[in-house]
Structure 1
Amino acid sequence: MSAILGEKEIEQFIHNGYVRIDNAFSQEITGAALDILWKDLPCDRLNPSTWTKPVIRLGMYTQQPFIDSLNTDKLHSAFNQLIGENRWIPCRNVGTFPVRFPADKQPNDTGKHVDVSFPGKDPENYFEWRANVKSRGRALLMLVLYSDVSEKDAPTIIYEGSHIDIARILSQEDDFGLSFMELTGKAEALPERKEVYATGKAGTVYLCHPFLVHAAQPHRAKTPKFMAQPPLLLKGELNISGAATGYTPVERAIRLGID
Protein backbone atom coordinates (compact mmCIF):
# COMPACT_ATOMS: atom_id res chain seq x y z
CA MET A 1 0.00 0.00 0.00
CA SER A 2 1.54 3.30 -1.09
CA ALA A 3 2.04 6.14 1.41
CA ILE A 4 -0.65 8.81 1.13
CA LEU A 5 0.88 11.44 3.43
CA GLY A 6 3.96 13.45 2.50
CA GLU A 7 6.62 14.65 4.93
CA LYS A 8 4.99 18.09 5.16
CA GLU A 9 1.65 16.56 6.14
CA ILE A 10 3.30 14.32 8.73
CA GLU A 11 4.99 17.33 10.31
CA GLN A 12 1.69 19.25 10.26
CA PHE A 13 0.05 16.40 12.15
CA ILE A 14 2.83 16.31 14.75
CA HIS A 15 2.90 20.06 15.42
CA ASN A 16 -0.67 21.17 14.62
CA GLY A 17 -2.49 18.02 15.70
CA TYR A 18 -4.40 17.13 12.54
CA VAL A 19 -4.20 16.39 8.85
CA ARG A 20 -7.02 16.67 6.32
CA ILE A 21 -7.71 13.86 3.84
CA ASP A 22 -9.80 14.98 0.87
CA ASN A 23 -11.90 12.46 -1.07
CA ALA A 24 -11.28 9.83 1.57
CA PHE A 25 -14.41 8.00 0.39
CA SER A 26 -16.80 8.25 -2.53
CA GLN A 27 -19.97 10.24 -3.09
CA GLU A 28 -21.83 6.95 -3.59
CA ILE A 29 -20.92 5.95 -0.03
CA THR A 30 -21.98 9.39 1.21
CA GLY A 31 -25.38 9.12 -0.46
CA ALA A 32 -26.06 5.66 0.93
CA ALA A 33 -25.08 6.77 4.45
CA LEU A 34 -27.29 9.87 4.30
CA ASP A 35 -30.29 7.84 3.18
CA ILE A 36 -29.93 5.67 6.30
CA LEU A 37 -29.50 8.65 8.61
CA TRP A 38 -32.48 10.60 7.26
CA LYS A 39 -34.74 7.56 7.75
CA ASP A 40 -33.83 7.60 11.45
CA LEU A 41 -34.41 11.32 11.99
CA PRO A 42 -37.76 12.48 13.44
CA CYS A 43 -38.12 15.19 10.81
CA ASP A 44 -38.81 15.58 7.10
CA ARG A 45 -35.82 15.73 4.79
CA LEU A 46 -37.69 18.01 2.38
CA ASN A 47 -39.41 20.25 4.93
CA PRO A 48 -37.10 22.63 6.84
CA SER A 49 -40.00 23.73 9.06
CA THR A 50 -39.67 20.35 10.80
CA TRP A 51 -36.04 21.01 11.72
CA THR A 52 -36.78 22.52 15.11
CA LYS A 53 -33.87 21.27 17.22
CA PRO A 54 -30.26 22.48 16.86
CA VAL A 55 -28.84 18.98 17.42
CA ILE A 56 -30.30 15.49 17.14
CA ARG A 57 -28.09 12.62 18.25
CA LEU A 58 -28.48 9.31 16.50
CA GLY A 59 -27.14 5.95 17.72
CA MET A 60 -24.30 3.69 16.70
CA TYR A 61 -24.10 2.89 12.97
CA THR A 62 -22.59 -0.33 11.67
CA GLN A 63 -24.20 -0.59 8.23
CA GLN A 64 -21.95 -1.22 5.24
CA PRO A 65 -21.77 2.37 3.90
CA PHE A 66 -20.39 3.56 7.23
CA ILE A 67 -17.89 0.71 7.46
CA ASP A 68 -16.80 1.31 3.86
CA SER A 69 -16.32 5.03 4.48
CA LEU A 70 -13.67 4.40 7.16
CA ASN A 71 -11.87 1.48 5.55
CA THR A 72 -10.61 2.81 2.24
CA ASP A 73 -7.06 2.18 1.06
CA LYS A 74 -6.34 5.90 1.39
CA LEU A 75 -7.33 5.99 5.07
CA HIS A 76 -5.62 2.71 5.93
CA SER A 77 -2.41 4.03 4.40
CA ALA A 78 -2.64 7.18 6.52
CA PHE A 79 -3.35 5.14 9.67
CA ASN A 80 -0.21 3.10 9.05
CA GLN A 81 1.88 6.23 8.59
CA LEU A 82 0.59 7.98 11.70
CA ILE A 83 0.29 5.06 14.13
CA GLY A 84 2.28 2.19 12.66
CA GLU A 85 1.24 -1.03 10.96
CA ASN A 86 -0.64 -3.59 13.05
CA ARG A 87 -1.12 -1.13 15.91
CA TRP A 88 -4.69 -0.03 15.17
CA ILE A 89 -8.06 -1.77 14.88
CA PRO A 90 -10.16 -1.32 11.71
CA CYS A 91 -13.37 0.63 12.33
CA ARG A 92 -16.57 -1.38 12.60
CA ASN A 93 -18.90 1.46 13.59
CA VAL A 94 -18.95 5.26 13.47
CA GLY A 95 -20.29 5.89 16.97
CA THR A 96 -23.03 8.41 17.65
CA PHE A 97 -24.06 11.02 15.08
CA PRO A 98 -24.67 14.60 16.28
CA VAL A 99 -26.70 15.90 13.32
CA ARG A 100 -26.71 19.72 13.41
CA PHE A 101 -29.55 21.82 12.06
CA PRO A 102 -30.06 25.54 11.44
CA ALA A 103 -32.30 26.52 14.34
CA ASP A 104 -33.15 29.54 16.46
CA LYS A 105 -32.34 27.65 19.65
CA GLN A 106 -28.65 27.43 20.52
CA PRO A 107 -27.02 24.02 21.04
CA ASN A 108 -25.85 23.17 24.56
CA ASP A 109 -22.80 21.12 23.59
CA THR A 110 -20.36 23.73 22.29
CA GLY A 111 -17.71 23.63 25.03
CA LYS A 112 -14.04 22.85 24.43
CA HIS A 113 -13.18 19.24 25.19
CA VAL A 114 -10.91 16.29 24.56
CA ASP A 115 -12.39 12.88 23.72
CA VAL A 116 -11.55 10.15 26.23
CA SER A 117 -10.77 6.52 25.57
CA PHE A 118 -11.22 4.07 28.45
CA PRO A 119 -13.83 3.60 31.19
CA GLY A 120 -13.59 4.89 34.72
CA LYS A 121 -15.36 3.48 37.78
CA ASP A 122 -18.75 3.64 36.06
CA PRO A 123 -18.46 2.47 32.43
CA GLU A 124 -22.01 3.67 31.75
CA ASN A 125 -21.11 7.28 32.60
CA TYR A 126 -19.16 8.85 29.73
CA PHE A 127 -18.24 11.84 31.89
CA GLU A 128 -16.16 9.44 33.98
CA TRP A 129 -14.34 7.90 31.02
CA ARG A 130 -10.65 8.76 30.96
CA ALA A 131 -7.51 9.46 28.93
CA ASN A 132 -3.90 8.91 29.90
CA VAL A 133 -0.62 10.10 28.44
CA LYS A 134 -0.18 6.84 26.50
CA SER A 135 -3.65 7.29 24.98
CA ARG A 136 -4.81 3.85 26.10
CA GLY A 137 -7.29 2.48 23.58
CA ARG A 138 -7.41 5.47 21.21
CA ALA A 139 -5.07 6.02 18.28
CA LEU A 140 -6.85 8.96 16.60
CA LEU A 141 -9.90 11.17 16.71
CA MET A 142 -11.55 11.30 13.29
CA LEU A 143 -13.89 14.01 12.01
CA VAL A 144 -15.75 12.37 9.14
CA LEU A 145 -17.84 14.61 6.88
CA TYR A 146 -20.92 13.01 5.29
CA SER A 147 -22.22 16.35 4.04
CA ASP A 148 -20.56 19.44 2.58
CA VAL A 149 -19.45 21.70 5.43
CA SER A 150 -18.71 25.40 4.94
CA GLU A 151 -17.69 27.89 7.62
CA LYS A 152 -21.40 28.54 8.31
CA ASP A 153 -22.42 24.86 8.52
CA ALA A 154 -21.37 24.39 12.17
CA PRO A 155 -17.87 23.11 11.40
CA THR A 156 -16.03 21.63 14.35
CA ILE A 157 -13.50 24.08 15.80
CA ILE A 158 -10.00 22.60 16.05
CA TYR A 159 -7.60 24.29 18.46
CA GLU A 160 -4.35 23.97 16.57
CA GLY A 161 -1.47 22.59 18.66
CA SER A 162 -3.63 22.04 21.75
CA HIS A 163 -2.74 18.33 21.78
CA ILE A 164 0.71 19.32 23.01
CA ASP A 165 -0.84 21.18 25.95
CA ILE A 166 -2.94 18.15 26.85
CA ALA A 167 0.05 15.82 26.57
CA ARG A 168 1.86 18.03 29.07
CA ILE A 169 -1.10 17.88 31.48
CA LEU A 170 -1.52 14.11 31.19
CA SER A 171 2.21 13.51 31.63
CA GLN A 172 1.80 14.71 35.23
CA GLU A 173 -0.80 11.99 35.96
CA ASP A 174 -0.51 8.24 36.54
CA ASP A 175 -1.76 5.53 34.18
CA PHE A 176 -5.36 6.21 35.26
CA GLY A 177 -5.06 9.69 33.73
CA LEU A 178 -7.93 12.17 33.96
CA SER A 179 -11.68 11.92 33.40
CA PHE A 180 -13.62 13.68 30.66
CA MET A 181 -14.85 16.31 33.11
CA GLU A 182 -11.38 16.87 34.58
CA LEU A 183 -9.89 17.31 31.12
CA THR A 184 -12.74 19.59 30.07
CA GLY A 185 -12.04 21.88 33.01
CA LYS A 186 -8.37 22.07 32.12
CA ALA A 187 -9.10 22.59 28.39
CA GLU A 188 -10.99 25.80 29.15
CA ALA A 189 -7.92 27.19 30.94
CA LEU A 190 -5.31 26.36 28.28
CA PRO A 191 -3.27 29.01 26.45
CA GLU A 192 -5.07 30.57 23.49
CA ARG A 193 -4.60 28.56 20.30
CA LYS A 194 -5.39 29.28 16.65
CA GLU A 195 -8.91 28.20 15.70
CA VAL A 196 -9.24 26.09 12.54
CA TYR A 197 -12.62 25.10 11.09
CA ALA A 198 -13.07 21.50 9.94
CA THR A 199 -14.69 22.32 6.61
CA GLY A 200 -14.73 20.37 3.36
CA LYS A 201 -16.77 18.40 0.87
CA ALA A 202 -18.61 15.25 1.86
CA GLY A 203 -16.01 12.48 1.91
CA THR A 204 -13.42 14.61 3.73
CA VAL A 205 -11.85 13.15 6.87
CA TYR A 206 -9.77 15.01 9.44
CA LEU A 207 -7.35 12.69 11.20
CA CYS A 208 -6.68 14.28 14.57
CA HIS A 209 -4.32 13.53 17.41
CA PRO A 210 -6.31 11.88 20.22
CA PHE A 211 -5.44 14.76 22.59
CA LEU A 212 -6.61 17.54 20.27
CA VAL A 213 -8.98 20.04 21.89
CA HIS A 214 -12.05 20.74 19.76
CA ALA A 215 -15.54 22.17 20.04
CA ALA A 216 -18.89 22.26 18.27
CA GLN A 217 -20.60 25.51 17.30
CA PRO A 218 -24.05 26.73 16.17
CA HIS A 219 -25.30 26.15 12.63
CA ARG A 220 -25.67 29.38 10.66
CA ALA A 221 -26.49 28.10 7.16
CA LYS A 222 -29.43 26.23 5.61
CA THR A 223 -28.44 22.58 5.14
CA PRO A 224 -28.12 20.08 8.00
CA LYS A 225 -24.62 18.99 8.86
CA PHE A 226 -23.81 15.28 9.06
CA MET A 227 -20.50 14.41 10.68
CA ALA A 228 -19.30 11.45 12.72
CA GLN A 229 -16.38 11.64 15.12
CA PRO A 230 -15.37 8.05 15.86
CA PRO A 231 -12.10 7.00 17.42
CA LEU A 232 -9.60 4.87 15.61
CA LEU A 233 -9.02 2.24 18.26
CA LEU A 234 -5.50 1.44 19.38
CA LYS A 235 -4.12 -1.96 20.22
CA GLY A 236 -2.88 -1.30 23.74
CA GLU A 237 -1.07 1.95 24.46
CA LEU A 238 1.38 4.23 22.71
CA ASN A 239 5.10 4.03 23.36
CA ILE A 240 6.36 7.45 24.44
CA SER A 241 9.73 6.69 26.03
CA GLY A 242 12.65 4.29 25.69
CA ALA A 243 11.80 3.21 22.14
CA ALA A 244 14.64 1.33 20.47
CA THR A 245 13.30 1.84 16.93
CA GLY A 246 11.99 5.41 17.10
CA TYR A 247 8.52 6.85 17.48
CA THR A 248 5.49 7.15 15.25
CA PRO A 249 4.06 10.62 14.47
CA VAL A 250 1.30 10.30 17.07
CA GLU A 251 3.94 9.40 19.68
CA ARG A 252 6.33 12.13 18.57
CA ALA A 253 3.57 14.69 19.07
CA ILE A 254 3.09 13.59 22.68
CA ARG A 255 6.80 13.80 23.32
CA LEU A 256 6.71 17.48 22.31
CA GLY A 257 4.58 18.07 25.38
CA ILE A 258 6.63 16.04 27.84
CA ASP A 259 10.24 16.72 26.79
Structure 2
Amino acid sequence: MLTDAEVTAFVADGFVRVDGAFSAETAAEGREILWRATGCGPDDPSTWTKPVVRLWDHADEPFARAVTAPALLEAFDQLVGPGRWLPRNSLGSWPIRFPSPEPPGDDGWHVDASFPGDAAIDDYARWRVNVHSKGRALLMLFLFSDVGPDDAPTRVRVGSHRRLAPILRPFGEQGTGMFDLLDFYASTADLPEVAATGHAGDVYLCHPFLVHAAQAHRGRTPRFMAQPPLLLREPCVLDRPDGAYSPLEQAIRQGLA
Protein backbone atom coordinates (compact mmCIF):
# COMPACT_ATOMS: atom_id res chain seq x y z
CA MET A 1 0.00 0.00 0.00
CA LEU A 2 2.60 2.58 1.07
CA THR A 3 5.49 3.35 -1.25
CA ASP A 4 9.09 3.28 -0.03
CA ALA A 5 9.08 7.08 -0.16
CA GLU A 6 5.98 7.25 2.05
CA VAL A 7 7.49 4.89 4.61
CA THR A 8 10.67 6.98 4.62
CA ALA A 9 8.57 10.12 5.13
CA PHE A 10 6.78 8.48 8.07
CA VAL A 11 10.13 7.83 9.76
CA ALA A 12 11.47 11.34 9.04
CA ASP A 13 8.33 13.49 9.40
CA GLY A 14 6.21 11.39 11.76
CA PHE A 15 3.11 10.89 9.60
CA VAL A 16 1.75 9.75 6.26
CA ARG A 17 -1.68 10.33 4.69
CA VAL A 18 -3.50 7.41 3.09
CA ASP A 19 -5.80 8.97 0.52
CA GLY A 20 -9.20 7.33 0.08
CA ALA A 21 -8.50 4.65 2.66
CA PHE A 22 -12.26 4.15 2.96
CA SER A 23 -15.09 5.33 0.76
CA ALA A 24 -16.94 8.63 0.83
CA GLU A 25 -20.15 6.59 1.11
CA THR A 26 -18.88 4.95 4.31
CA ALA A 27 -18.00 8.40 5.65
CA ALA A 28 -21.49 9.68 4.86
CA GLU A 29 -23.11 6.71 6.64
CA GLY A 30 -20.92 7.37 9.65
CA ARG A 31 -21.82 11.07 9.73
CA GLU A 32 -25.53 10.23 9.85
CA ILE A 33 -24.97 8.15 12.98
CA LEU A 34 -22.80 10.81 14.58
CA TRP A 35 -25.23 13.64 13.81
CA ARG A 36 -27.98 11.76 15.64
CA ALA A 37 -25.67 11.19 18.60
CA THR A 38 -24.77 14.90 18.87
CA GLY A 39 -28.42 15.94 19.19
CA CYS A 40 -27.69 18.73 16.70
CA GLY A 41 -29.35 19.32 13.35
CA PRO A 42 -27.13 19.14 10.26
CA ASP A 43 -29.26 21.82 8.55
CA ASP A 44 -29.90 23.94 11.64
CA PRO A 45 -26.82 25.94 12.74
CA SER A 46 -28.82 27.33 15.66
CA THR A 47 -28.33 23.92 17.32
CA TRP A 48 -24.53 24.19 17.02
CA THR A 49 -24.11 25.83 20.40
CA LYS A 50 -20.73 24.42 21.47
CA PRO A 51 -17.32 24.53 19.78
CA VAL A 52 -16.79 20.82 20.56
CA VAL A 53 -19.20 17.95 21.19
CA ARG A 54 -17.50 14.78 22.41
CA LEU A 55 -18.98 11.38 21.68
CA TRP A 56 -17.92 8.03 23.08
CA ASP A 57 -16.69 5.01 21.17
CA HIS A 58 -18.78 3.87 18.21
CA ALA A 59 -18.49 0.40 16.71
CA ASP A 60 -21.35 0.72 14.20
CA GLU A 61 -20.85 -0.98 10.86
CA PRO A 62 -19.51 2.05 8.93
CA PHE A 63 -16.82 2.62 11.54
CA ALA A 64 -15.81 -1.04 11.67
CA ARG A 65 -15.66 -1.00 7.86
CA ALA A 66 -13.40 2.05 7.87
CA VAL A 67 -10.88 0.82 10.44
CA THR A 68 -10.60 -2.59 8.75
CA ALA A 69 -10.14 -1.23 5.23
CA PRO A 70 -7.63 -3.43 3.37
CA ALA A 71 -5.41 -0.46 2.53
CA LEU A 72 -5.04 0.37 6.21
CA LEU A 73 -4.41 -3.20 7.34
CA GLU A 74 -1.55 -3.40 4.87
CA ALA A 75 -0.20 -0.02 5.97
CA PHE A 76 -0.30 -1.13 9.63
CA ASP A 77 1.87 -4.11 8.72
CA GLN A 78 4.28 -1.87 6.84
CA LEU A 79 4.69 0.71 9.61
CA VAL A 80 4.34 -1.40 12.76
CA GLY A 81 5.17 -4.92 11.58
CA PRO A 82 3.02 -7.97 10.87
CA GLY A 83 1.67 -9.47 14.07
CA ARG A 84 2.88 -6.57 16.21
CA TRP A 85 -0.41 -4.64 16.39
CA LEU A 86 -3.88 -5.41 17.73
CA PRO A 87 -6.88 -5.38 15.35
CA ARG A 88 -9.77 -3.09 16.22
CA ASN A 89 -13.34 -2.65 14.99
CA SER A 90 -14.25 0.78 16.39
CA LEU A 91 -12.91 4.30 16.19
CA GLY A 92 -12.73 5.47 19.80
CA SER A 93 -14.06 8.80 21.02
CA TRP A 94 -15.05 11.64 18.68
CA PRO A 95 -14.35 15.36 19.18
CA ILE A 96 -16.91 16.84 16.76
CA ARG A 97 -15.86 20.43 16.07
CA PHE A 98 -18.37 23.13 15.15
CA PRO A 99 -17.87 26.65 13.79
CA SER A 100 -17.79 28.88 16.84
CA PRO A 101 -16.33 32.19 18.07
CA GLU A 102 -15.62 30.48 21.41
CA PRO A 103 -12.19 28.91 22.00
CA PRO A 104 -12.36 25.10 22.02
CA GLY A 105 -10.48 24.82 25.31
CA ASP A 106 -8.53 21.74 24.22
CA ASP A 107 -6.09 23.13 21.66
CA GLY A 108 -2.78 22.78 23.51
CA TRP A 109 0.21 21.01 22.00
CA HIS A 110 0.69 17.46 23.32
CA VAL A 111 1.37 13.81 22.62
CA ASP A 112 -1.21 11.18 23.49
CA ALA A 113 -0.46 8.97 26.49
CA SER A 114 -0.54 5.24 25.93
CA PHE A 115 -0.73 3.27 29.20
CA PRO A 116 -2.23 3.90 32.67
CA GLY A 117 0.70 3.06 34.92
CA ASP A 118 -0.68 3.30 38.46
CA ALA A 119 -3.57 5.56 37.40
CA ALA A 120 -7.16 4.41 37.18
CA ILE A 121 -8.08 3.09 33.75
CA ASP A 122 -10.50 6.01 33.22
CA ASP A 123 -8.15 8.70 34.58
CA TYR A 124 -6.64 9.49 31.20
CA ALA A 125 -5.08 12.74 32.39
CA ARG A 126 -2.65 10.66 34.48
CA TRP A 127 -1.80 8.08 31.81
CA ARG A 128 1.83 7.80 30.74
CA VAL A 129 4.14 7.42 27.75
CA ASN A 130 7.57 5.78 27.65
CA VAL A 131 10.41 5.44 25.16
CA HIS A 132 9.13 2.02 24.05
CA SER A 133 5.68 3.49 23.29
CA LYS A 134 4.10 0.86 25.51
CA GLY A 135 0.52 0.29 24.38
CA ARG A 136 0.40 2.56 21.34
CA ALA A 137 1.59 1.79 17.83
CA LEU A 138 0.07 4.74 15.96
CA LEU A 139 -2.02 7.86 16.39
CA MET A 140 -4.63 7.76 13.61
CA LEU A 141 -6.78 10.57 12.22
CA PHE A 142 -9.85 9.30 10.34
CA LEU A 143 -11.50 12.06 8.30
CA PHE A 144 -15.26 11.48 8.10
CA SER A 145 -15.87 14.88 6.52
CA ASP A 146 -13.89 17.04 4.13
CA VAL A 147 -11.44 19.11 6.17
CA GLY A 148 -10.06 22.34 4.75
CA PRO A 149 -7.67 24.84 6.34
CA ASP A 150 -10.52 26.62 8.19
CA ASP A 151 -12.29 23.43 9.37
CA ALA A 152 -10.25 22.86 12.54
CA PRO A 153 -7.69 20.46 11.04
CA THR A 154 -5.38 18.89 13.57
CA ARG A 155 -2.00 20.64 13.61
CA VAL A 156 1.20 18.56 13.68
CA ARG A 157 4.82 19.56 14.18
CA VAL A 158 6.92 17.83 11.57
CA GLY A 159 9.73 15.72 13.00
CA SER A 160 8.79 16.32 16.63
CA HIS A 161 8.47 12.57 17.25
CA ARG A 162 12.22 12.04 16.94
CA ARG A 163 12.94 14.80 19.44
CA LEU A 164 10.78 13.15 22.07
CA ALA A 165 12.64 9.83 22.19
CA PRO A 166 15.73 11.10 24.06
CA ILE A 167 13.51 13.07 26.44
CA LEU A 168 11.67 9.88 27.40
CA ARG A 169 14.69 7.61 27.75
CA PRO A 170 15.70 8.75 31.29
CA PHE A 171 12.20 7.89 32.59
CA GLY A 172 12.69 4.20 31.79
CA GLU A 173 9.85 1.72 31.70
CA GLN A 174 7.58 3.75 34.00
CA GLY A 175 7.62 6.67 31.58
CA THR A 176 6.11 10.04 32.39
CA GLY A 177 2.75 11.79 32.21
CA MET A 178 1.85 13.63 29.04
CA PHE A 179 1.21 16.82 31.05
CA ASP A 180 4.72 16.61 32.52
CA LEU A 181 6.17 17.36 29.07
CA LEU A 182 4.94 20.94 28.64
CA ASP A 183 8.48 22.36 28.39
CA PHE A 184 9.27 19.82 25.69
CA TYR A 185 6.18 20.76 23.69
CA ALA A 186 7.21 24.41 23.87
CA SER A 187 10.69 23.50 22.62
CA THR A 188 9.25 22.14 19.35
CA ALA A 189 7.82 25.52 18.30
CA ASP A 190 10.63 25.98 15.78
CA LEU A 191 9.54 22.97 13.72
CA PRO A 192 7.41 23.23 10.56
CA GLU A 193 3.68 22.94 11.18
CA VAL A 194 1.31 21.02 8.91
CA ALA A 195 -2.49 20.93 9.05
CA ALA A 196 -4.15 17.53 8.62
CA THR A 197 -6.49 18.53 5.80
CA GLY A 198 -8.05 16.17 3.30
CA HIS A 199 -11.22 14.55 2.02
CA ALA A 200 -13.69 12.29 3.76
CA GLY A 201 -12.15 8.83 3.62
CA ASP A 202 -8.54 9.96 4.07
CA VAL A 203 -6.58 8.70 7.08
CA TYR A 204 -3.43 10.10 8.65
CA LEU A 205 -1.18 7.48 10.26
CA CYS A 206 1.05 9.23 12.77
CA HIS A 207 3.95 8.18 14.96
CA PRO A 208 2.75 8.02 18.59
CA PHE A 209 5.41 10.56 19.65
CA LEU A 210 4.23 13.20 17.15
CA VAL A 211 3.41 16.51 18.85
CA HIS A 212 0.01 17.74 17.69
CA ALA A 213 -2.83 20.06 18.66
CA ALA A 214 -6.45 20.88 17.91
CA GLN A 215 -7.55 24.36 16.85
CA ALA A 216 -10.64 26.54 16.59
CA HIS A 217 -13.12 25.95 13.75
CA ARG A 218 -13.26 29.02 11.50
CA GLY A 219 -15.18 27.46 8.62
CA ARG A 220 -18.85 26.77 7.98
CA THR A 221 -19.27 22.99 8.08
CA PRO A 222 -18.79 20.87 11.24
CA ARG A 223 -15.74 18.64 11.21
CA PHE A 224 -16.10 14.91 11.84
CA MET A 225 -12.85 13.15 12.63
CA ALA A 226 -11.91 10.18 14.82
CA GLN A 227 -8.50 9.90 16.44
CA PRO A 228 -8.16 6.35 17.75
CA PRO A 229 -4.89 4.63 18.65
CA LEU A 230 -3.63 1.52 16.97
CA LEU A 231 -2.52 -0.64 19.89
CA LEU A 232 0.72 -2.59 20.17
CA ARG A 233 0.80 -6.25 21.19
CA GLU A 234 4.11 -5.62 22.96
CA PRO A 235 6.18 -2.46 23.54
CA CYS A 236 8.63 -1.47 20.83
CA VAL A 237 11.92 -3.36 20.87
CA LEU A 238 14.87 -1.02 20.31
CA ASP A 239 17.67 -3.60 20.35
CA ARG A 240 16.58 -6.42 18.07
CA PRO A 241 19.37 -8.97 17.47
CA ASP A 242 18.11 -9.57 13.93
CA GLY A 243 17.83 -5.87 13.16
CA ALA A 244 14.22 -6.30 11.96
CA TYR A 245 13.09 -2.90 13.13
CA SER A 246 9.73 -1.54 12.01
CA PRO A 247 9.55 2.05 10.73
CA LEU A 248 7.88 2.84 14.08
CA GLU A 249 10.98 1.59 15.90
CA GLN A 250 13.41 3.07 13.36
CA ALA A 251 12.12 6.56 14.10
CA ILE A 252 12.63 6.09 17.84
CA ARG A 253 16.13 4.73 17.31
CA GLN A 254 17.03 7.67 15.07
CA GLY A 255 15.85 10.05 17.75
CA LEU A 256 17.94 8.30 20.38
CA ALA A 257 20.98 8.44 18.13
- Take 1:115 and 1:231, find their aligned partners in 2: how far apart are those partners? 9
- Amino acid across the alignment from 1:131: V
- CA distance in structure 1 between the partners assigned to 2:223 and 2:189 by the alignment: 29
Structure 1 counterpart of 2:42, one-letter code: R
AA of the residue aligned to 2:232: L
> How far, CA to CA, are the matches of 2:183 and 2:154 in structure 1?
19
How far residue 195 of structure 1 moved from its aligned partner, in angstroms, is 0.3
Distance 1:175 1:37 in 2: 38
What's the CA shift for 1:242? 3.7
Shift of 1:191: 5.2
> Hey, what's the Cα distance between the residues in 2 that align with 1:65 and 1:26?
10
Deviations 1:35-88 (A, max 9, x none): 110001122111012111111101111111111101111001100110110111
SS in 2 for 1:141: strand
Q: Which amino acid aligns with 1:34?
A: R
Superposed, 1:182-201 pairs within 5 Å as 182-190=180-188, 192-201=190-199
**What runs of 5+ residues in structure 1 fail to find an aligned partner?**
none
Which moved further from structure 2: 175-184 or 22-31?
Answer: 175-184
Tell me the distance in 1 between the aligned counterparts of 2:143 and 2:218: 17
Q: What amino acid is the match of 1:74?
A: A
Cα displacement (A) at 1:188: 2.3
> Normalising by structure 1, what TM-score?
0.96
Between the aligned partners of 2:69 and 2:187, the Cα distance in structure 1 is: 38
CA RMSD of aligned residues (A): 1.1
SS at 1:19 equivalent: strand
Among 147, 166, 169, the residue aligned to 1:168: 166
Q: 1:191 to 1:52 in 2, by over 3 A?
A: closer
* TM, length-normalised to structure 2: 0.97
Q: Tell me, yes or no, if structure 1 residue 56 matches structure 2 residue 59.
A: no
Question: How far off is 1:130 after superposition?
Answer: 0.6
Name the amino acid aligned to 1:129.
W
SS of the aligned residue for 1:75 comes to helix
Match of 2:254 in 1: 256
User: Equivalent residue of 1:56, what SS?
Assistant: strand
Q: Whole-Å Cα distance in 2 between the matches of residues 64 and 238 of structure 1?
A: 31
1:72 equivalent in alignment to 2:69: yes
